[in-house]
Structure 1
Protein backbone atom coordinates (compact mmCIF):
# COMPACT_ATOMS: atom_id res chain seq x y z
CA UNK A 1 0.00 0.00 0.00
CA UNK A 2 1.29 3.46 -0.87
CA UNK A 3 2.24 5.90 1.88
CA UNK A 4 -0.13 8.67 2.85
CA UNK A 5 0.17 11.84 0.78
CA UNK A 6 1.85 14.73 2.58
CA UNK A 7 -1.36 16.66 3.32
CA UNK A 8 -2.94 13.60 4.93
CA UNK A 9 0.15 12.61 6.91
CA UNK A 10 0.15 16.13 8.34
CA UNK A 11 -3.51 15.95 9.32
CA UNK A 12 -3.22 12.45 10.82
CA UNK A 13 -0.09 12.33 13.02
CA UNK A 14 -0.72 8.87 14.46
CA UNK A 15 1.10 5.67 13.61
CA UNK A 16 -0.64 3.08 11.43
CA UNK A 17 -0.82 -0.60 12.33
CA UNK A 18 -2.29 -3.62 10.56
CA UNK A 19 -3.65 -6.93 11.83
CA UNK A 20 -5.18 -10.01 10.19
CA UNK A 21 -8.88 -10.54 10.95
CA UNK A 22 -11.69 -12.74 9.73
CA UNK A 23 -14.30 -11.21 7.43
CA UNK A 24 -16.78 -13.89 6.59
CA UNK A 25 -14.81 -16.85 5.28
CA UNK A 26 -11.90 -14.71 4.11
CA UNK A 27 -8.84 -13.45 5.99
CA UNK A 28 -8.47 -9.70 5.64
CA UNK A 29 -6.05 -7.05 6.83
CA UNK A 30 -7.47 -4.39 9.14
CA UNK A 31 -5.81 -1.01 9.58
CA UNK A 32 -5.92 0.71 12.95
CA UNK A 33 -4.40 3.59 14.84
CA UNK A 34 -2.97 2.68 18.25
CA UNK A 35 -1.77 5.56 20.41
CA UNK A 36 -0.92 5.89 24.10
CA UNK A 37 -0.88 3.48 27.00
CA UNK A 38 -3.35 2.60 29.71
CA UNK A 39 -7.02 1.62 29.73
CA UNK A 40 -8.08 0.93 26.14
CA UNK A 41 -10.56 3.13 24.32
CA UNK A 42 -11.97 1.58 21.14
CA UNK A 43 -13.17 4.20 18.65
CA UNK A 44 -15.48 2.83 15.94
CA UNK A 45 -16.49 4.87 12.89
CA UNK A 46 -19.23 4.22 10.35
CA UNK A 47 -20.07 4.74 6.68
CA UNK A 48 -18.24 6.04 4.58
CA UNK A 49 -15.55 7.37 6.92
CA UNK A 50 -12.42 5.87 8.50
CA UNK A 51 -10.17 6.31 11.53
CA UNK A 52 -9.25 9.80 10.28
CA UNK A 53 -12.62 10.84 11.76
CA UNK A 54 -11.25 10.39 15.29
CA UNK A 55 -8.06 12.46 14.97
CA UNK A 56 -9.37 15.52 16.87
CA UNK A 57 -10.82 13.38 19.66
CA UNK A 58 -7.53 11.48 19.92
CA UNK A 59 -5.61 14.74 20.07
CA UNK A 60 -7.89 15.88 22.89
CA UNK A 61 -7.16 12.68 24.82
CA UNK A 62 -3.38 12.77 24.55
CA UNK A 63 -1.71 12.56 27.94
CA UNK A 64 -4.86 11.13 29.53
CA UNK A 65 -3.37 7.75 30.42
CA UNK A 66 -5.56 5.99 27.86
CA UNK A 67 -4.71 3.69 24.97
CA UNK A 68 -6.60 4.90 21.89
CA UNK A 69 -7.39 2.24 19.28
CA UNK A 70 -9.22 3.37 16.14
CA UNK A 71 -9.69 0.70 13.46
CA UNK A 72 -10.91 1.10 9.89
CA UNK A 73 -13.86 -1.14 9.06
CA UNK A 74 -13.10 -3.65 6.34
CA UNK A 75 -13.76 -1.99 2.99
CA UNK A 76 -13.02 1.50 4.29
CA UNK A 77 -10.00 3.60 5.15
CA UNK A 78 -6.71 1.76 4.78
CA UNK A 79 -8.14 -1.68 5.54
CA UNK A 80 -8.55 -4.32 2.84
CA UNK A 81 -11.35 -3.56 0.39
CA UNK A 82 -13.26 -6.58 -0.90
CA UNK A 83 -14.80 -5.79 -4.28
CA UNK A 84 -18.02 -7.76 -3.76
CA UNK A 85 -21.04 -6.42 -1.90
CA UNK A 86 -22.14 -9.81 -0.61
CA UNK A 87 -19.64 -10.22 2.24
CA UNK A 88 -20.73 -7.07 4.05
CA UNK A 89 -22.98 -7.85 6.99
CA UNK A 90 -23.31 -6.75 10.59
CA UNK A 91 -22.07 -10.18 11.64
CA UNK A 92 -18.96 -10.07 9.46
CA UNK A 93 -18.01 -6.52 10.43
CA UNK A 94 -18.63 -7.28 14.10
CA UNK A 95 -16.53 -10.44 13.93
CA UNK A 96 -13.67 -8.55 12.29
CA UNK A 97 -13.66 -5.97 15.10
CA UNK A 98 -13.93 -8.72 17.73
CA UNK A 99 -10.93 -10.47 16.15
CA UNK A 100 -8.92 -7.27 16.50
CA UNK A 101 -10.00 -6.78 20.13
CA UNK A 102 -9.00 -10.34 20.97
CA UNK A 103 -5.74 -10.15 19.03
CA UNK A 104 -4.77 -6.99 20.94
CA UNK A 105 -6.20 -8.53 24.13
CA UNK A 106 -8.12 -5.36 24.96
CA UNK A 107 -9.90 -5.58 28.33
CA UNK A 108 -11.82 -3.10 30.48
CA UNK A 109 -12.60 -1.32 27.21
CA UNK A 110 -14.32 2.05 26.85
CA UNK A 111 -16.30 1.58 23.64
CA UNK A 112 -16.90 4.79 21.67
CA UNK A 113 -19.34 4.42 18.78
CA UNK A 114 -20.92 6.45 15.99
CA UNK A 115 -22.95 5.66 12.84
CA UNK A 116 -22.44 1.99 11.80
CA UNK A 117 -19.82 1.75 14.54
CA UNK A 118 -22.80 1.64 16.93
CA UNK A 119 -24.48 -1.61 15.92
CA UNK A 120 -21.14 -3.17 14.96
CA UNK A 121 -19.66 -2.24 18.34
CA UNK A 122 -22.71 -3.44 20.26
CA UNK A 123 -22.72 -6.77 18.39
CA UNK A 124 -19.00 -7.14 19.18
CA UNK A 125 -19.52 -6.22 22.84
CA UNK A 126 -22.29 -8.80 23.19
CA UNK A 127 -19.85 -11.48 22.02
CA UNK A 128 -16.73 -10.22 23.81
CA UNK A 129 -17.17 -11.94 27.18
CA UNK A 130 -17.48 -8.74 29.21
CA UNK A 131 -14.49 -6.90 27.73
CA UNK A 132 -16.50 -3.67 27.34
CA UNK A 133 -17.02 -1.84 30.64
CA UNK A 134 -17.60 1.77 29.55
CA UNK A 135 -19.64 3.28 26.73
CA UNK A 136 -19.81 6.58 24.84
CA UNK A 137 -22.51 6.74 22.16
CA UNK A 138 -22.88 9.28 19.37
CA UNK A 139 -25.26 9.68 16.44
CA UNK A 140 -26.03 6.07 15.62
CA UNK A 141 -28.85 3.54 15.56
CA UNK A 142 -28.00 0.62 17.83
CA UNK A 143 -31.60 -0.43 18.48
CA UNK A 144 -33.84 -2.64 16.36
CA UNK A 145 -36.28 -0.55 14.31
CA UNK A 146 -39.79 0.11 15.55
CA UNK A 147 -40.78 0.91 11.97
CA UNK A 148 -39.01 0.72 8.64
CA UNK A 149 -39.08 4.34 7.55
CA UNK A 150 -35.63 4.72 5.98
CA UNK A 151 -34.12 7.99 4.84
CA UNK A 152 -34.04 9.14 1.22
CA UNK A 153 -30.33 8.27 1.19
CA UNK A 154 -30.97 4.67 2.17
CA UNK A 155 -33.93 4.31 -0.20
CA UNK A 156 -31.72 5.57 -3.01
CA UNK A 157 -29.06 2.97 -2.17
CA UNK A 158 -31.55 0.19 -3.00
CA UNK A 159 -32.33 1.50 -6.48
CA UNK A 160 -30.73 -0.92 -8.95
CA UNK A 161 -28.36 0.50 -11.49
CA UNK A 162 -28.51 4.17 -10.59
CA UNK A 163 -27.22 3.62 -7.04
CA UNK A 164 -24.35 1.49 -8.35
CA UNK A 165 -23.35 4.28 -10.72
CA UNK A 166 -23.57 6.95 -8.02
CA UNK A 167 -21.67 5.03 -5.34
CA UNK A 168 -19.07 3.39 -7.54
CA UNK A 169 -18.39 5.96 -10.27
CA UNK A 170 -19.02 9.20 -8.35
CA UNK A 171 -17.90 8.03 -4.88
CA UNK A 172 -21.29 8.89 -3.38
CA UNK A 173 -21.88 9.93 -0.61
CA UNK A 174 -18.32 11.08 0.15
CA UNK A 175 -18.58 14.44 -1.68
CA UNK A 176 -21.80 15.19 0.26
CA UNK A 177 -20.55 14.71 3.83
CA UNK A 178 -20.50 18.45 4.58
CA UNK A 179 -24.25 18.61 3.98
CA UNK A 180 -24.86 16.41 7.02
CA UNK A 181 -23.06 18.83 9.34
CA UNK A 182 -24.22 21.64 11.57
CA UNK A 183 -21.49 23.67 9.88
CA UNK A 184 -20.77 22.46 6.34
CA UNK A 185 -17.30 24.03 6.52
CA UNK A 186 -16.29 21.38 9.07
CA UNK A 187 -15.86 18.92 6.18
CA UNK A 188 -14.35 20.92 3.36
CA UNK A 189 -11.00 21.56 1.73
CA UNK A 190 -8.25 19.16 2.78
CA UNK A 191 -10.51 17.46 5.32
CA UNK A 192 -13.03 16.54 2.62
CA UNK A 193 -10.12 15.41 0.44
CA UNK A 194 -8.88 13.19 3.28
CA UNK A 195 -12.22 11.37 3.50
CA UNK A 196 -12.18 10.74 -0.23
CA UNK A 197 -8.57 9.60 -0.51
CA UNK A 198 -8.95 5.94 0.61
CA UNK A 199 -11.77 5.50 -1.93
CA UNK A 200 -9.98 7.21 -4.82
CA UNK A 201 -10.04 4.00 -6.92
CA UNK A 202 -13.36 2.94 -8.42
CA UNK A 203 -12.71 -0.75 -7.68
CA UNK A 204 -12.42 0.03 -3.94
CA UNK A 205 -15.89 1.54 -3.52
CA UNK A 206 -18.03 -1.47 -2.67
CA UNK A 207 -18.29 -0.84 1.09
CA UNK A 208 -20.21 2.47 1.12
CA UNK A 209 -22.96 0.98 -1.04
CA UNK A 210 -22.97 -2.31 0.86
CA UNK A 211 -23.20 -0.59 4.25
CA UNK A 212 -26.02 1.65 3.01
CA UNK A 213 -27.93 -1.44 1.88
CA UNK A 214 -27.29 -3.09 5.25
CA UNK A 215 -29.73 -0.61 6.86
CA UNK A 216 -32.95 -2.64 7.32
CA UNK A 217 -35.88 -1.49 5.19
CA UNK A 218 -38.24 -4.39 5.92
CA UNK A 219 -38.96 -6.87 8.71
CA UNK A 220 -37.20 -9.77 6.99
CA UNK A 221 -34.03 -7.80 6.19
CA UNK A 222 -31.03 -9.91 7.33
CA UNK A 223 -29.67 -7.09 9.50
CA UNK A 224 -32.74 -7.12 11.78
CA UNK A 225 -31.86 -10.36 13.58
CA UNK A 226 -28.23 -9.28 13.96
CA UNK A 227 -29.28 -5.92 15.38
CA UNK A 228 -31.31 -7.68 18.07
CA UNK A 229 -28.17 -9.06 19.71
CA UNK A 230 -26.57 -5.66 20.08
CA UNK A 231 -29.89 -4.10 21.12
CA UNK A 232 -30.19 -6.55 24.02
CA UNK A 233 -26.61 -5.87 25.14
CA UNK A 234 -27.11 -2.10 24.92
CA UNK A 235 -30.31 -2.11 27.00
CA UNK A 236 -28.72 -4.35 29.64
CA UNK A 237 -25.49 -2.35 29.93
CA UNK A 238 -25.03 -0.93 33.45
CA UNK A 239 -21.50 0.42 33.29
CA UNK A 240 -20.65 4.11 33.06
CA UNK A 241 -22.14 5.54 29.89
CA UNK A 242 -22.66 8.84 28.12
CA UNK A 243 -24.44 10.00 24.99
CA UNK A 244 -23.06 12.91 22.98
CA UNK A 245 -25.42 13.86 20.17
CA UNK A 246 -25.50 16.21 17.21
CA UNK A 247 -29.04 17.55 16.99
CA UNK A 248 -28.50 19.08 13.53
CA UNK A 249 -27.85 15.67 12.02
CA UNK A 250 -30.45 15.21 9.22
CA UNK A 251 -30.03 11.43 9.40
CA UNK A 252 -30.03 10.52 13.09
CA UNK A 253 -30.49 13.76 15.01
CA UNK A 254 -33.91 12.65 16.26
CA UNK A 255 -32.62 9.25 17.42
CA UNK A 256 -31.31 10.70 20.68
CA UNK A 257 -34.62 10.31 22.53
CA UNK A 258 -34.96 6.61 21.81
CA UNK A 259 -31.36 5.83 22.74
CA UNK A 260 -31.46 7.87 25.95
CA UNK A 261 -34.62 6.00 26.95
CA UNK A 262 -32.91 2.65 26.28
CA UNK A 263 -29.89 3.72 28.37
CA UNK A 264 -31.55 5.80 31.10
CA UNK A 265 -28.55 6.05 33.44
CA UNK A 266 -26.36 7.64 30.75
CA UNK A 267 -25.38 11.30 30.93
CA UNK A 268 -26.54 13.20 27.83
CA UNK A 269 -24.70 16.03 26.07
CA UNK A 270 -26.80 17.51 23.26
CA UNK A 271 -24.92 19.70 20.77
CA UNK A 272 -25.68 21.72 17.65
CA UNK A 273 -23.35 19.53 15.59
CA UNK A 274 -24.33 17.38 12.64
CA UNK A 275 -23.84 13.72 11.85
CA UNK A 276 -20.04 13.56 11.96
CA UNK A 277 -19.84 15.43 15.24
CA UNK A 278 -16.23 14.38 15.79
CA UNK A 279 -15.35 17.18 13.37
CA UNK A 280 -17.44 19.80 15.18
CA UNK A 281 -17.43 19.04 18.91
CA UNK A 282 -14.34 16.88 19.62
CA UNK A 283 -13.83 18.54 23.01
CA UNK A 284 -17.25 17.41 24.23
CA UNK A 285 -16.56 13.86 23.05
CA UNK A 286 -13.12 13.74 24.65
CA UNK A 287 -14.59 15.05 27.93
CA UNK A 288 -17.22 12.29 27.88
CA UNK A 289 -14.55 9.64 27.27
CA UNK A 290 -12.53 10.97 30.20
CA UNK A 291 -15.53 10.87 32.53
CA UNK A 292 -16.51 7.35 31.51
CA UNK A 293 -12.90 6.16 31.79
CA UNK A 294 -12.53 7.86 35.19
CA UNK A 295 -9.48 9.90 34.26
CA UNK A 296 -8.77 13.51 35.13
CA UNK A 297 -10.26 16.23 32.91
CA UNK A 298 -7.99 18.07 30.52
CA UNK A 299 -5.94 20.85 32.10
Structure 2
Protein backbone atom coordinates (compact mmCIF):
# COMPACT_ATOMS: atom_id res chain seq x y z
CA UNK A 1 0.00 0.00 0.00
CA UNK A 2 1.22 3.52 -0.73
CA UNK A 3 1.78 6.36 1.70
CA UNK A 4 -1.11 8.55 0.57
CA UNK A 5 -2.98 7.99 3.84
CA UNK A 6 -0.11 9.62 5.71
CA UNK A 7 -0.74 12.95 3.99
CA UNK A 8 -4.53 12.82 4.23
CA UNK A 9 -6.24 15.43 6.32
CA UNK A 10 -8.16 13.46 8.93
CA UNK A 11 -9.95 14.05 12.20
CA UNK A 12 -10.20 11.89 15.31
CA UNK A 13 -13.41 11.99 17.31
CA UNK A 14 -12.74 13.09 20.92
CA UNK A 15 -12.97 10.19 23.38
CA UNK A 16 -15.45 12.15 25.49
CA UNK A 17 -18.05 11.70 22.77
CA UNK A 18 -18.11 7.98 23.61
CA UNK A 19 -18.48 8.28 27.38
CA UNK A 20 -21.29 6.23 28.93
CA UNK A 21 -22.88 5.02 25.72
CA UNK A 22 -25.91 2.82 26.29
CA UNK A 23 -25.15 -0.93 26.11
CA UNK A 24 -21.61 -0.41 24.80
CA UNK A 25 -19.26 -1.41 27.64
CA UNK A 26 -16.50 -2.78 25.42
CA UNK A 27 -12.85 -1.85 25.90
CA UNK A 28 -11.34 -0.06 22.89
CA UNK A 29 -8.59 -1.60 20.78
CA UNK A 30 -6.62 0.13 18.02
CA UNK A 31 -4.37 -0.78 15.13
CA UNK A 32 -2.51 1.61 12.82
CA UNK A 33 -3.18 1.20 9.11
CA UNK A 34 -0.86 3.23 6.94
CA UNK A 35 -0.94 6.27 9.20
CA UNK A 36 -4.58 6.00 10.24
CA UNK A 37 -5.88 4.51 13.47
CA UNK A 38 -8.64 1.89 13.23
CA UNK A 39 -10.68 0.97 16.27
CA UNK A 40 -12.14 -2.45 16.94
CA UNK A 41 -14.02 -4.35 19.62
CA UNK A 42 -12.36 -7.60 20.70
CA UNK A 43 -14.46 -9.70 23.07
CA UNK A 44 -14.44 -13.35 24.11
CA UNK A 45 -11.55 -15.82 24.46
CA UNK A 46 -8.44 -14.49 22.74
CA UNK A 47 -7.45 -17.97 21.56
CA UNK A 48 -10.82 -18.82 20.02
CA UNK A 49 -11.58 -18.68 16.31
CA UNK A 50 -12.65 -15.15 15.36
CA UNK A 51 -16.09 -13.96 14.33
CA UNK A 52 -15.52 -10.84 12.26
CA UNK A 53 -18.58 -8.56 12.41
CA UNK A 54 -18.45 -5.89 9.71
CA UNK A 55 -20.83 -2.94 9.80
CA UNK A 56 -21.99 -0.84 6.90
CA UNK A 57 -23.26 2.64 6.11
CA UNK A 58 -23.59 4.92 8.11
CA UNK A 59 -23.28 2.83 11.28
CA UNK A 60 -20.33 1.62 13.35
CA UNK A 61 -19.58 -1.25 15.72
CA UNK A 62 -22.30 0.05 18.05
CA UNK A 63 -24.68 -1.69 15.62
CA UNK A 64 -23.51 -5.07 16.93
CA UNK A 65 -23.66 -4.20 20.65
CA UNK A 66 -26.44 -6.71 21.42
CA UNK A 67 -24.91 -9.48 19.29
CA UNK A 68 -21.31 -9.33 20.51
CA UNK A 69 -22.06 -10.63 24.05
CA UNK A 70 -24.22 -13.49 22.74
CA UNK A 71 -21.50 -14.77 20.44
CA UNK A 72 -18.71 -14.15 22.96
CA UNK A 73 -20.65 -16.06 25.62
CA UNK A 74 -20.77 -19.03 23.24
CA UNK A 75 -16.97 -19.15 23.33
CA UNK A 76 -16.13 -17.19 20.20
CA UNK A 77 -13.66 -14.34 19.83
CA UNK A 78 -15.77 -11.51 18.42
CA UNK A 79 -14.00 -8.76 16.51
CA UNK A 80 -16.04 -5.78 15.33
CA UNK A 81 -13.99 -3.06 13.61
CA UNK A 82 -15.05 0.48 12.91
CA UNK A 83 -14.29 1.09 9.25
CA UNK A 84 -12.06 4.06 8.52
CA UNK A 85 -14.33 7.11 8.55
CA UNK A 86 -16.68 5.63 11.14
CA UNK A 87 -17.01 5.05 14.88
CA UNK A 88 -13.85 5.53 16.90
CA UNK A 89 -11.61 5.13 13.84
CA UNK A 90 -9.86 8.06 12.17
CA UNK A 91 -11.84 9.96 9.55
CA UNK A 92 -10.25 11.49 6.43
CA UNK A 93 -12.11 14.73 5.79
CA UNK A 94 -12.33 14.65 1.99
CA UNK A 95 -14.88 12.47 0.20
CA UNK A 96 -12.25 11.96 -2.47
CA UNK A 97 -9.99 10.20 0.03
CA UNK A 98 -12.41 7.26 0.13
CA UNK A 99 -12.54 4.59 -2.54
CA UNK A 100 -13.70 0.98 -2.64
CA UNK A 101 -10.14 -0.18 -3.23
CA UNK A 102 -8.73 1.89 -0.39
CA UNK A 103 -11.29 0.44 2.02
CA UNK A 104 -10.26 -3.02 0.81
CA UNK A 105 -6.60 -2.22 1.46
CA UNK A 106 -7.40 -0.98 4.95
CA UNK A 107 -9.33 -4.17 5.76
CA UNK A 108 -6.60 -6.38 4.31
CA UNK A 109 -4.07 -4.64 6.53
CA UNK A 110 -6.43 -5.11 9.47
CA UNK A 111 -6.70 -8.90 9.18
CA UNK A 112 -2.98 -9.13 8.39
CA UNK A 113 -1.90 -7.15 11.46
CA UNK A 114 -4.25 -9.06 13.75
CA UNK A 115 -3.17 -12.32 12.06
CA UNK A 116 -6.77 -13.50 11.80
CA UNK A 117 -7.44 -17.00 10.48
CA UNK A 118 -10.32 -19.48 10.62
CA UNK A 119 -12.62 -16.47 10.39
CA UNK A 120 -16.39 -16.60 10.40
CA UNK A 121 -17.46 -13.48 8.53
CA UNK A 122 -20.66 -11.69 9.58
CA UNK A 123 -21.55 -8.80 7.32
CA UNK A 124 -24.33 -6.40 6.38
CA UNK A 125 -24.66 -3.47 3.95
CA UNK A 126 -21.17 -2.16 3.06
CA UNK A 127 -19.77 -4.73 5.43
CA UNK A 128 -20.81 -7.23 2.75
CA UNK A 129 -19.30 -5.31 -0.16
CA UNK A 130 -16.00 -5.32 1.70
CA UNK A 131 -16.30 -8.59 3.60
CA UNK A 132 -17.31 -10.80 0.69
CA UNK A 133 -14.44 -9.41 -1.39
CA UNK A 134 -12.10 -9.95 1.54
CA UNK A 135 -13.16 -13.58 1.92
CA UNK A 136 -12.91 -14.20 -1.83
CA UNK A 137 -9.42 -12.73 -1.94
CA UNK A 138 -8.32 -14.64 1.20
CA UNK A 139 -10.32 -17.87 0.99
CA UNK A 140 -7.89 -19.88 3.11
CA UNK A 141 -8.41 -17.51 6.04
CA UNK A 142 -12.21 -17.80 6.20
CA UNK A 143 -14.14 -20.89 7.28
CA UNK A 144 -17.74 -19.62 7.05
CA UNK A 145 -19.77 -16.62 5.89
CA UNK A 146 -22.99 -15.15 7.27
CA UNK A 147 -24.68 -12.38 5.27
CA UNK A 148 -27.63 -10.34 6.46
CA UNK A 149 -29.04 -7.65 4.16
CA UNK A 150 -25.95 -7.44 1.99
CA UNK A 151 -24.65 -8.17 -1.48
CA UNK A 152 -21.57 -7.99 -3.69
CA UNK A 153 -22.67 -5.91 -6.70
CA UNK A 154 -20.75 -5.79 -9.96
CA UNK A 155 -22.70 -3.07 -11.76
CA UNK A 156 -24.19 -5.66 -14.12
CA UNK A 157 -27.56 -5.71 -12.36
CA UNK A 158 -30.30 -3.10 -12.17
CA UNK A 159 -30.03 -0.82 -9.15
CA UNK A 160 -33.11 -0.59 -6.88
CA UNK A 161 -34.80 2.85 -7.04
CA UNK A 162 -34.53 3.12 -3.24
CA UNK A 163 -30.75 2.99 -3.53
CA UNK A 164 -30.59 5.79 -6.11
CA UNK A 165 -32.63 8.02 -3.82
CA UNK A 166 -30.34 7.18 -0.92
CA UNK A 167 -27.18 7.93 -2.92
CA UNK A 168 -28.44 11.34 -3.99
CA UNK A 169 -29.45 12.17 -0.44
CA UNK A 170 -26.06 11.17 0.96
CA UNK A 171 -24.14 13.22 -1.59
CA UNK A 172 -26.27 16.35 -1.79
CA UNK A 173 -28.44 16.80 1.29
CA UNK A 174 -27.14 19.56 3.59
CA UNK A 175 -28.73 17.60 6.45
CA UNK A 176 -27.23 14.16 7.15
CA UNK A 177 -28.41 12.97 10.59
CA UNK A 178 -26.70 9.62 11.19
CA UNK A 179 -28.84 8.44 14.09
CA UNK A 180 -32.11 9.33 12.40
CA UNK A 181 -31.03 7.57 9.22
CA UNK A 182 -30.49 4.36 11.16
CA UNK A 183 -33.79 4.91 12.96
CA UNK A 184 -35.62 5.17 9.62
CA UNK A 185 -33.94 1.95 8.46
CA UNK A 186 -35.10 0.01 11.54
CA UNK A 187 -38.53 -1.35 12.46
CA UNK A 188 -38.28 -0.32 16.07
CA UNK A 189 -37.90 3.24 17.31
CA UNK A 190 -34.46 3.97 18.70
CA UNK A 191 -34.25 5.66 22.08
CA UNK A 192 -32.68 9.10 22.54
CA UNK A 193 -29.62 7.42 24.09
CA UNK A 194 -29.26 5.12 21.09
CA UNK A 195 -29.60 8.03 18.68
CA UNK A 196 -26.91 9.86 20.64
CA UNK A 197 -24.63 6.84 20.38
CA UNK A 198 -24.97 6.62 16.61
CA UNK A 199 -24.31 10.36 16.32
CA UNK A 200 -21.36 10.25 18.73
CA UNK A 201 -18.61 9.66 16.13
CA UNK A 202 -19.71 12.67 14.07
CA UNK A 203 -19.53 15.96 16.04
CA UNK A 204 -19.81 18.03 12.86
CA UNK A 205 -20.09 17.71 9.08
CA UNK A 206 -16.28 17.57 8.88
CA UNK A 207 -16.44 14.05 10.35
CA UNK A 208 -19.03 12.72 7.89
CA UNK A 209 -17.07 12.48 4.62
CA UNK A 210 -16.73 8.70 4.89
CA UNK A 211 -20.42 8.24 5.59
CA UNK A 212 -21.39 10.42 2.65
CA UNK A 213 -18.87 8.74 0.33
CA UNK A 214 -20.01 5.12 0.60
CA UNK A 215 -23.19 5.26 -1.55
CA UNK A 216 -21.32 6.72 -4.51
CA UNK A 217 -18.72 3.93 -4.31
CA UNK A 218 -21.24 1.12 -4.90
CA UNK A 219 -20.67 -0.30 -8.42
CA UNK A 220 -23.78 0.62 -10.42
CA UNK A 221 -22.26 0.38 -13.92
CA UNK A 222 -20.45 -2.52 -15.61
CA UNK A 223 -17.42 -0.26 -16.13
CA UNK A 224 -17.22 0.92 -12.52
CA UNK A 225 -13.63 0.88 -11.15
CA UNK A 226 -14.56 -1.91 -8.70
CA UNK A 227 -16.66 -4.01 -11.07
CA UNK A 228 -13.93 -6.27 -12.43
CA UNK A 229 -12.51 -7.05 -8.99
CA UNK A 230 -16.01 -7.89 -7.77
CA UNK A 231 -16.58 -10.17 -10.76
CA UNK A 232 -13.38 -12.00 -9.89
CA UNK A 233 -14.62 -12.34 -6.32
CA UNK A 234 -17.85 -13.86 -7.63
CA UNK A 235 -15.83 -16.45 -9.56
CA UNK A 236 -14.45 -17.55 -6.18
CA UNK A 237 -17.84 -17.43 -4.46
CA UNK A 238 -19.40 -19.52 -7.22
CA UNK A 239 -16.99 -22.27 -6.16
CA UNK A 240 -17.33 -21.61 -2.41
CA UNK A 241 -18.05 -24.92 -0.70
CA UNK A 242 -17.65 -23.73 2.89
CA UNK A 243 -20.80 -22.90 4.89
CA UNK A 244 -22.58 -19.80 3.58
CA UNK A 245 -25.61 -18.66 5.58
CA UNK A 246 -28.12 -15.91 4.76
CA UNK A 247 -29.97 -14.11 7.55
CA UNK A 248 -31.83 -11.39 5.66
CA UNK A 249 -34.71 -9.45 7.17
CA UNK A 250 -38.26 -9.32 5.87
CA UNK A 251 -38.39 -5.54 5.49
CA UNK A 252 -35.40 -4.18 3.60
CA UNK A 253 -36.29 -2.53 0.25
CA UNK A 254 -32.64 -2.24 -0.82
CA UNK A 255 -31.40 -5.83 -0.50
CA UNK A 256 -34.69 -7.72 -0.79
CA UNK A 257 -34.22 -10.90 -2.83
CA UNK A 258 -30.46 -10.98 -2.38
CA UNK A 259 -30.65 -13.98 -0.09
CA UNK A 260 -32.38 -16.16 -2.69
CA UNK A 261 -29.91 -14.97 -5.32
CA UNK A 262 -26.89 -15.97 -3.24
CA UNK A 263 -28.44 -19.25 -2.10
CA UNK A 264 -28.83 -20.21 -5.75
CA UNK A 265 -25.39 -19.05 -6.87
CA UNK A 266 -23.08 -20.09 -3.99
CA UNK A 267 -22.57 -23.85 -3.45
CA UNK A 268 -21.85 -23.48 0.27
CA UNK A 269 -25.37 -22.14 0.80
CA UNK A 270 -26.93 -25.50 -0.03
CA UNK A 271 -28.72 -27.17 2.89
CA UNK A 272 -27.80 -24.40 5.32
CA UNK A 273 -30.37 -23.30 7.95
CA UNK A 274 -31.13 -19.97 6.28
CA UNK A 275 -33.46 -17.72 8.25
CA UNK A 276 -35.58 -14.67 7.55
CA UNK A 277 -35.52 -12.31 10.50
CA UNK A 278 -37.95 -9.57 11.43
CA UNK A 279 -36.61 -6.13 10.72
CA UNK A 280 -35.70 -3.34 8.39
CA UNK A 281 -32.35 -2.66 6.76
CA UNK A 282 -30.58 -2.58 10.13
CA UNK A 283 -31.67 -6.02 11.28
CA UNK A 284 -29.07 -5.89 14.07
CA UNK A 285 -31.36 -3.36 15.75
CA UNK A 286 -34.55 -5.31 15.19
CA UNK A 287 -33.49 -8.97 15.67
CA UNK A 288 -30.04 -8.95 17.31
CA UNK A 289 -30.43 -12.06 19.46
CA UNK A 290 -31.96 -14.29 16.74
CA UNK A 291 -29.23 -13.07 14.39
CA UNK A 292 -26.51 -13.91 16.90
CA UNK A 293 -28.03 -17.30 17.68
CA UNK A 294 -28.10 -18.15 13.97
CA UNK A 295 -24.37 -17.41 13.86
CA UNK A 296 -23.71 -19.57 16.93
CA UNK A 297 -25.77 -22.42 15.48
CA UNK A 298 -23.82 -22.34 12.25
CA UNK A 299 -20.46 -22.29 14.03
CA UNK A 300 -21.51 -25.23 16.21
CA UNK A 301 -21.69 -27.37 13.07
CA UNK A 302 -18.19 -26.47 11.85
CA UNK A 303 -15.31 -28.93 12.26
After superposition, the Cα gap between the structure-2 partners of 1:163 and 1:103, relative to the gap in structure 1 and judged at 3 Å, is: closer
After superposition, the Cα gap between the structure-2 partners of 1:163 and 1:237, relative to the gap in structure 1 and judged at 3 Å, is: closer
Kept in 2, the 8 Å contact 1:143–1:230? The answer is no
Kept in 2, the 8 Å contact 1:51–1:72? The answer is yes
Corresponding residue SS for 1:133: strand
- Is 2:227 the counterpart of 1:224? yes
Kept in 2, the 8 Å contact 1:241–1:267? The answer is no
Count of matched residue positions in the alignment of Structure 1 and Structure 2: 284
2:89 to 79, 87, 94: 79
2:28 to 5, 8, 16: 16
Q: Please give the per-residue CA displacement for 1:105-128, whole angstroms capped at 9, x wherever unaligned.
A: 111111111100112012212232
Task: Give 1:136's aligned residue.
Answer: 146
Kept in 2, the 8 Å contact 1:135–1:292? The answer is no
Q: TM (normalized to structure 1)? A: 0.87
After superposition, the Cα gap between the structure-2 partners of 1:257 and 1:230, relative to the gap in structure 1 and judged at 3 Å, is: same
Task: Give 2:113's aligned residue.
Answer: 103
- Is 2:49 the counterpart of 1:3? no
1:171 to 168, 173, 176: 176
Q: TM (normalized to structure 2)? A: 0.86
- After superposition, where does 1:117-128 map in structure 2 within 5 Å? 117-128=127-138
After superposition, the Cα gap between the structure-2 partners of 1:130 and 1:204, relative to the gap in structure 1 and judged at 3 Å, is: same
Corresponding residue SS for 2:32: strand
Q: Please give the per-residue CA displacement for 1:214-260, whole angstroms capped at 9, x wherever unaligned.
A: 12232222232232233233322211221111111122123222122
- Is 2:284 the counterpart of 1:278? yes
Kept in 2, the 8 Å contact 1:90–1:226? The answer is no
- After superposition, where does 1:110-259 map in structure 2 within 5 Å? 110-128=120-138, 130-155=140-165, 157-158=167-168, 164-166=171-173, 169-172=174-177, 174-181=179-186, 183-185=187-189, 187-259=190-262
Shift of 1:154: 3.1
**CA distance in 1: counterparts of 2:86 and 2:264, whole angstroms:** 32
After superposition, the Cα gap between the structure-2 partners of 1:207 and 1:5, relative to the gap in structure 1 and judged at 3 Å, is: closer
Task: Give 1:29's aligned residue.
Answer: 37
- How well do the aligned residues superpose, as a CA RMSD in angstroms? 2.2
Q: Please give the per-residue CA displacement for 1:57-88, whole angstroms capped at 9, x wherever unaligned.
A: 11212321111100011111111101112232
- Is 2:293 the counterpart of 1:287? yes
- Structure 1, unaligned stretches of length 5 or more? none
**CA distance in 2: counterparts of 1:6 and 1:86, whole angstroms:** 31
**CA distance in 2: counterparts of 1:130 and 1:209, whole angstroms:** 33
